[in-house]
Chain A
Amino acid sequence: MEASLKKPPSPAIATSRKTGKWKKMKQQKILYLMILPAFLCTLVFAYGPMFGLYMAFTNYSPGGGSFFGSFFHSEFVGAQWFRYFFENGDFYKIMRNTLAQSLLSLLIGFPAPIVLALLINEVGGGLFKRFVQTVSYLPHFISWVIAANIIVTLLSSQGAINELLMALHLVDKPIQFLQNGHAFWGIIALSNTWKDMGFNAIIYLAAIAGINPELYEAARVDGASRWRQMWNVTLPSLKPTIVILSILAVGNVLNAGFDQQYLLQNTTVLEYSDVIDTYTYRYGLQNGMFSYGAAVGLFKSVIAFILVVAVNAWSRKVNQQSLY
């Protein structure tokens, strides 16, 4: 039975289907024209760099006519730049910083919006709720440049945080937060959380709004307090959302970011602030080691891609949930 289904259709039907397809495509030519602008943009600005990754395997030197012309003229060196990255000692430091910063951000930043959504849900639908929500979204919409300006001001030796600590007699002289390498990971994690906590809570609030009210009624009949309802009804109902978002987060673990690190770092904390993206920028563009920068970037893209696909496959198997 199954075999007969898989049998290819007879040649006559196949040709008529083919011409039918052509006829249809001709009718749809306006639709294809509508796709064209987006297609060209994606081809040039997304696929162009993918093919340009070839330069990671060459000793690229600029000049020599067009981009593609010049890198096919460049000397092919195979995996030399990758070996250089793994062997020169920076690899360990960069990976440590990238993973530490993004895992710490995850540890603080992932539960924060869940807690916020649960608590916002507790205060009902009043003005207070809307006020807190509106204000907590705001940091998400400002650029990291503005955020960095604010953070640097608050943390400077004369900034509000140092003044507060001094007024409370917790410290007797200002702490140089941003000159302290050990504090840098924490500053990144906390500022990430500050920026996105409110906005990320929206998804959880939407999921909470979709919970069947009868579940709460049943819990109340059983004598559950508000806290118990939150623990036994709301939180389990949020599980699918939490799982999906944690998959996304794990897939993104190598994207520790660029903006925060680049804008908040200085030479004293470089040992702890440098992540894959800032490293690529510094060596690849600022120091002009194009092929090396491309190789480090390719390393990141490949690992990130494998992570997303693997985590997704795992989740489909374990939770019957996947992103695609």
Chain B
Amino acid sequence: MAFVYAFLILVFLVTFYPFWNILVLSLNSADDAVRGGLYLWPRSFSLQSYQEILKDQEILGGIKVTLLRTAIGAPLTVLVISLLAFALSKKDLVGNKLISLFFIFTMYFGGGLIPYYMILKSVHLIDTFAVYIFPNLMNVFFVIIVRSFMQELPAEVEESAKIDGANDFQIYVRVVLPICVPVLVTIGLFSAINQWNAWFDSYVFTYKSELKTLQAVLVKILNQYQTQEFTSASGQLADSAKRMSVSSETIRMAATMVATLPIVLVYPFLQRYFVKGMTLGAVKS
């Protein structure tokens, strides 16, 4: 039993410590951080890095774009997916099998990056905000989760509404959606997290700096840091330059913290839903 606890405490430390380490670095003053040796506690506490971030137009703009794509993208995704899932949950829908196959096939075969880029270009989404929204509206895995939830609803609920003369759309809005709130919240939070975390589309499909998301800005900062670390390791960098490059590390850590914080705050709420959703998804698939 002691071994079990020791192992689990080790797992806890290995997953938790990296986050703690960036927090410590981000809360330390930049000049002092250069000396290294920061593990458990900030040596000279300072919020300066966070203040620097709030002045940095690139990071601020990134936060704005990221918030916007999350706030617009996630609800629209839930809408498109729940509409489809509702229709596919009707077993008597003519052509249901064929339509399902149309969607499921895309889970197994894809065109790859280059043709995808060409399609985005040909529908004029390259270098627009819409490139964050439209290509992300569909997710077959989410559809499967929502559809299985809807199929398990008792048939009587819909039948009584049908007798009252409601059509399919009215049943979807007034009867099914309210009952499906738990599963819709789950996929809503999942797609919000996807939107928040996405970097590749911003990094590759947009060029305008005002369209860059927080994650894309972070990639840029990371690349700069890697180059500096690389050149300083091969001894090509003067001492003062080295000092500067490492002091920017606290800012990099503060930006990383800012990108992490919303996830840390939101996911305890998500947890009780996704454990159910994952189990359900695993059984159904």
Residues in A lying within 8 Å of B, measured CB to CB: 21, 24-25, 28, 30-35, 37-39, 41-42, 44-53, 55, 66-68, 71, 116, 119-120, 122-123, 128, 131-132, 134-139, 141-146, 148-154, 156-158, 160, 163-164, 176, 178-179, 194, 197-198, 202-203, 206, 241, 244, 258-259, 263, 266, 268, 277, 280-281, 284-285, 290, 293-294, 297-298, 300-301, 305, 308-309, 323-324
Contact = CB atoms under 8 A, between A and B. Distances in A.
Contact of A206 (B7, B15, B253, B282): B282
B81 interface: yes
B19 interface: yes
Given A38-B84, A52-B111, A176 B233 contact: yes
Contacts of A33: 169
Contacts of B48: none
A35 B83 contact: yes
A122 B83 contact: no
Interface in B1-33: 1, 4-5, 7-8, 11-12, 14-19, 21-22, 25
Interface in B187-202: 193, 196-200
A143 B116 contact: no
Given A49-B115, A194-B14, A305-B109, A206 B5 contact: no
A122 to B, nearest CB: 5
B256 A146 contact: yes
13 contacts: A33-B169, A37-B83, A42-B102, A44-B134, A49-B115, A50-B111, A52-B118, A138-B16, A143-B259, A145-B222, A152-B226, A259-B199, A305-B108
Given A48-B119, A143-B197, A53 B246 contact: no
Interface in B202-224: 204, 215, 218-219, 222
Contacts of A120: 8
Interface in B79-129: 79-81, 83-84, 86-88, 90, 92-95, 99, 102-104, 106, 108-119, 121-123
Given A34-B172, A280-B113, A153 B249 contact: yes
B271 interface: yes
Given A35-B99, A42-B102, A294-B114, A143 B168 contact: no
A32 B225 contact: no
B87 A298 contact: no
Contacts of A263: 219, 222
Nearest to B172: A34
Nearest to A24: B94
Name the residue among A128, A160, A268 with the largest chain B CB count within 10 angstroms: A160
A45 B15 contact: no
A35 B87 contact: yes
B11 A150 contact: no
> What 4 pairs between A and B have smallest CB-CB spacing?
A49-B111, A297-B112, A52-B115, A67-B122
Nearest to B214: A145
B118 A67 contact: yes
B137 interface: yes
B78 to A, nearest CB: 12
Contact of B200 (A55, A259, A297): A259
A202 B83 CA distance: 29
Contacts of B102: 39, 42
A53 B111 CA distance: 6
A164 B267 CA distance: 31
Interface of A (DSSP majority class): helix
B252 interface: yes
A164 B7 CA distance: 20
Nearest to A66: B122
B200 A258 contact: yes
B143 interface: yes
B229 A156 contact: yes
B238 interface: no
B279 interface: yes
Contact of B19 (A53, A150, A281, A290): A150
A217 B135 CA distance: 52
A122 B116 CA distance: 47
Nearest to B229: A156
B236 interface: no
B84 A148 contact: no
Given A158-B246, A294-B114, A138 B15 contact: yes
A179 B143 CA distance: 43
Contacts of B267: 137-138, 141
A178 B230 CA distance: 9
B115 A294 contact: yes
Contacts of B119: 44-45, 48-49, 52, 67
Contacts of B179: none
Interface string B236-274: 000000000010010011001001100110011011001
Given A131-B12, A290-B118, 6 more contacts: A24-B94, A38-B143, A139-B18, A153-B22, A153-B252, A203-B282
